[in-house]
């Protein structure tokens, strides 16, 4: 516990009083002795809401605790943070859980959860999270009340394959097909065309591989074109599907809540407007039985390990 305390204190001095406060212990209603909490929290959990309110799907975190000492975290936040089963050492003091995840030399993610109650279906806690990038704090959230739900259904195997769906693009940015075309022009030394407002429908395909990589295609005329030749990764955690990709702008990530039935995959997500309000977006995909485009064979792969 002392090691974690030092990490938290070093992360952001102003928050030490909140992070390390023991006052949360007085507000708990566990209904069982705190020395039994290590057995109650074992399992897989996905963040459901914050302070009783829905949160953007891209803001969800998922974690697994498989012993009183260890677990792993999965989360995706923009192009800075991509955690796919990142292992952590768990420390427990009464009802408070601490862990730290360091996916690379620059990024460190610190987490504190003071558990209010936990049962077979839910875990409720006062939480605080800090993310440090190369010594700078880029995320400092909390204290907030978070509710996690236990993962029961899992679509990790069902999502493997090729899926097709139609997207309507209504924005000033170019469509994926236009981005691919412009990229080819630039490689040939031709001048890029000025963007104009668009409102078009375009067909997309996602090919999810068993090794945790995927390929994304957009239909341009009669041809399916790969949108990026860089490594693209994904993970499925219960009903949460998160993807991470690289492109000329540095890449990004996004998450969706999914349901799969009878070769139809339904995507739904809450996204945040610039003013902070939320809006919902939906997408239906159909499993494609035909072989994926030839470009898929050229995709770099990376074996995922638990």
pTM: 0.76
pLDDT digits (tens, 9 = 90+) for 261-291: 999 999 999 998 888 888 999 999 999 985 5
Question: Is the Cβ–Cβ distance between 260 and 242 less than 8 Å?
Answer: no
Domains in the chain with CATH codes: 2-150 (2.40.128), 161-298 (2.40.128)
Please, what sign has the CA dihedral across residues 154, 160, 166, 170?
positive
Lowest mean pLDDT of 12-21, 45-54, 187-196, 244-253, name the range: 12-21
Select from 157, 164, 250 the least CA-distant residue to 209.
Answer: 157
pLDDT digits (tens, 9 = 90+) for 229-240: 677 899 999 999
Report the C-alpha gap between 141 and 84 in whole angstroms.
21
pLDDT at position 300: 42
């Amino acid at each position: 516990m002392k090691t974690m305390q030092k990490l938290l204190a070093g992360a952001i001095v102003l928050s030490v009083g909140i992070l390390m406060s023991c006052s949360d212990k007085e507000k708990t209603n566990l209904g069982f002795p705190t020395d039994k909490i290590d057995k109650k929290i074992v399992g897989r959990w996905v963040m459901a809401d914050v302070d009783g309110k829905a949160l953007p799907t891209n803001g969800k975190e998922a974690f697994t605790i498989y012993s009183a000492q260890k677990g792993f975290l999965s989360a995706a936040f923009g192009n800075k943070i991509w955690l796919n089963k990142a292992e952590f050492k768990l420390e427990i003091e009464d009802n408070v859980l601490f862990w730290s995840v360091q996916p690379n030399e620059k990024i460190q993610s610190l987490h504190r959860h003071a558990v209010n109650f936990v049962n077979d279906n839910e875990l409720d806690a006062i939480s605080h999270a800090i993310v440090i990038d190369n010594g700078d704090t880029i995320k400092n959230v909390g204290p907030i009340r978070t509710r996690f739900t236990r993962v029961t259904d899992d679509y990790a195997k069902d999502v493997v394959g090729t899926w097709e769906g139609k997207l309507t693009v209504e924005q000033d940015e170019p469509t994926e097909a236009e981005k691919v075309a412009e990229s080819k022009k630039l490689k040939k030394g031709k001048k890029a065309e000025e963007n104009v407002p668009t409102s078009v429908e375009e067909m997309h395909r996602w090919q999810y591989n068993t090794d945790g990589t995927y390929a994304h295609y957009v239909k341009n005329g009669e041809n399916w074109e790969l949108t990026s030749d860089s490594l693209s990764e994904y993970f499925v955690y219960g009903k949460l599907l998160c993807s991470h990709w690289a492109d000329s702008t540095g890449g990004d990530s996004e998450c969706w809540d999914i349901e799969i039935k009878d070769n139809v995959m339904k995507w739904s997500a809450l996204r945040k407007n610039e003013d902070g309000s939320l809006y919902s977006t939906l997408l239906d995909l159909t499993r494609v039985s035909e072989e994926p485009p030839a470009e898929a064979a050229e995709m770099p792969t990376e074996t995922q390990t638990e």
